[in-house]
């Protein structure tokens, strides 16, 4: 009997090594220190107050991982590290990995969650820890959404949309891309207070204070307003259980003007819930970090939009990473849901 190749399992078992090395040195902003000039292990250890022997072993592994170069015992950033992992550069995207490192702790609970179906009781954070963690999370979302926001801004025809509500808009990433592309458009970003600190910084960095405003509060508690041409809900519903998804979609639909559109953007599963890969694995991430969240299938989301009274409900495909579902308020029923 010929056995299958063992390689797939070997790789799966060892994958944590690269992941942990990368996340640990990114937390230390190692690549930022290597940006001005190449340094020896001893020099880096001194600057970062680290153990030189341990650091050298890790630095050599980072060379093997193609994140660093080594010449005459001096380490320097490879192109990808220099582009995205140097804190302070405009192209810096290291925040998402600081956020993922925090989430990794919660993944250690997966075995227990499989037995109980519930998250273990949460460690209490101080306000300062919470603010710091939220900044990594929200700037991290911007790190991964900025390219996608450009892509989607190019895909959607928003040329007749006057005003939009960006519900749980995070760092305002999508509002920024949409208003830049559509000169007539104004946006309101509704989110929690700590998140809006980041959103306002991002809006100011892009000089868009006159076209993007913010509303502070929980979307469960505050009124969303009415008369919007577009309500945009990106990467929110995966953190909610089914009944909360329904509730939020109903609330969002009621904020729309006649003929206005609701667009859900998220990881979207095929009906058998096993594809695409990103959506299926993200579902486990939500199992580990939220009470009741998961990825949803296109038919589940379309069903909720129809239940909320929206018509012309349709899927808008993007790629294997995320997708959209759009529905429109029939002109006669606007504001009545």
- Which residues form the interface with ligand SAM (CB under 6 A)? 138, 141, 145, 168-170, 173, 191-192, 195, 218-220, 234-236
- Residue 256: which of 176, 161, 158 has the closest Cα? 161
Angle at 73 between CA 72 and CA 76, to 5 degrees: 95
Report the C-alpha gap between 206 and 71 in whole angstroms.
39
| 288: enclosing H helix or E strand | helix 277-289
Give me the sign of the Cα torsion angle 107, 111, 112, 116: positive
CA separation (Å) from 114 to 106, 108, 109, 110, 290?
A: 13, 11, 9, 6, 14
Report the C-alpha gap between 313 and 255 in whole angstroms.
17
Of 172 and 310, which has the nearer Cβ to ligand SAM? 172
Q: Cβ 200 to ligand SAM, closest distance in Å?
A: 13
Q: Cβ 99 to ligand SAM, closest distance in Å?
A: 10
DSSP summary character for residue 326: E
Q: Cβ 141 to ligand SAM, closest distance in Å?
A: 4
Q: Cβ 235 to ligand SAM, closest distance in Å?
A: 4
Q: Cβ 67 to ligand SAM, closest distance in Å?
A: 26
Of 77 and 295, which has the nearer Cβ to ligand SAM? 295
Total number of residues shown for the chain: 337
Of 195 and 328, which has the nearer Cβ to ligand SAM? 195
Map residue 254 onto helix, strand or coil. helix
Of 138 and 324, which has the nearer Cβ to ligand SAM? 138
Of 29 and 266, which has the nearer Cβ to ligand SAM? 266
Q: Cβ 265 to ligand SAM, closest distance in Å?
A: 7
Q: Cβ 191 to ligand SAM, closest distance in Å?
A: 4
Burial group, residue 82, by CB count within 10 angstroms (0-12, 13-18, 19+): middle
Nearest residue to ligand SAM on Cβ basis: 170
Q: Cβ 176 to ligand SAM, closest distance in Å?
A: 10
Cβ neighbours around 81 below 10 Å, total? 25
Compute φ and ψ for 255, nearest 5 degrees.
-90, 0
Report the C-alpha gap between 60 and 47 in whole angstroms.
18
Of 15 and 130, which has the nearer Cβ to ligand SAM? 130
Q: Cβ 185 to ligand SAM, closest distance in Å?
A: 17
Of 182 and 234, which has the nearer Cβ to ligand SAM? 234
Angle formed by the axes of helices 52-64 and 16-27, nearest 10° = 120
Of 28 and 119, which has the nearer Cβ to ligand SAM? 119
Of 25 and 236, which has the nearer Cβ to ligand SAM? 236
| 312: enclosing H helix or E strand | strand 311-317
């Amino acid at each position: 009997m010929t056995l299958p190749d063992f390689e797939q399992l070997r790789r799966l078992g060892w994958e944590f090594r690269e992941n942990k090395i990368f996340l640990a040195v990114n937390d230390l902003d190692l690549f930022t220190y290597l940006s001005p000039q190449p340094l020896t292990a001893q020099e880096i250890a001194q600057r970062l107050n680290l153990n030189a022997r341990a650091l050298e072993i890790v630095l050599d592994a980072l060379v093997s991982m193609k994140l660093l170069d080594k010449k005459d015992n001096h380490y320097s950033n490879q192109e990808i590290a220099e582009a995205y992992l140097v804190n302070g550069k405009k192209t810096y995207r290291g925040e998402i990995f600081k956020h993922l490192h925090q989430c990794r702790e919660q993944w250690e609970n997966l075995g227990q969650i499989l037995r109980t179906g519930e998250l273990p009781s949460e460690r209490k954070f101080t306000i300062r820890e919470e603010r710091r963690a939220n900044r990594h999370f929200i700037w991290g979302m911007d790190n991964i959404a900025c390219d996608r926001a450009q892509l989607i801004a190019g895909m959607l025809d928003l040329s007749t949309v006057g005003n939009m509500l960006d519900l749980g808009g995070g760092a305002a990433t999508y509002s920024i891309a949409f208003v830049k592309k559509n000169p007539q458009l104004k946006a309101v970003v509704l989110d929690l207070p700590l998140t809006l600190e980041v959103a306002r910084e991002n809006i100011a960095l892009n000089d868009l204070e006159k076209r993007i405003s913010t509303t502070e509060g929980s979307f469960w508690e505050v009124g969303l307003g009415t008369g919007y041409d577009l309500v945009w809900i990106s990467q929110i519903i995966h953190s909610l259980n089914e009944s909360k998804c329904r509730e939020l979609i109903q609330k969002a639909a009621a904020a729309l003007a006649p003929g206005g559109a609701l667009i859900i953007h998220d990881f979207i599963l095929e009906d058998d819930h096993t594809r695409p890969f990103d959506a299926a694995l993200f579902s486990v991430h939500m199992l580990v970090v939220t009470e009741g969240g998961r990825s949803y299938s296109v038919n589940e989301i379309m069903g909720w939009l129809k239940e909320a009274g929206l018509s012309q409900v349709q899927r808008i495909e993007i790629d294997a990473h995320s997708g959209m579902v759009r529905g429109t308020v029939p002109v006669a029923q606007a504001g009545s849901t």
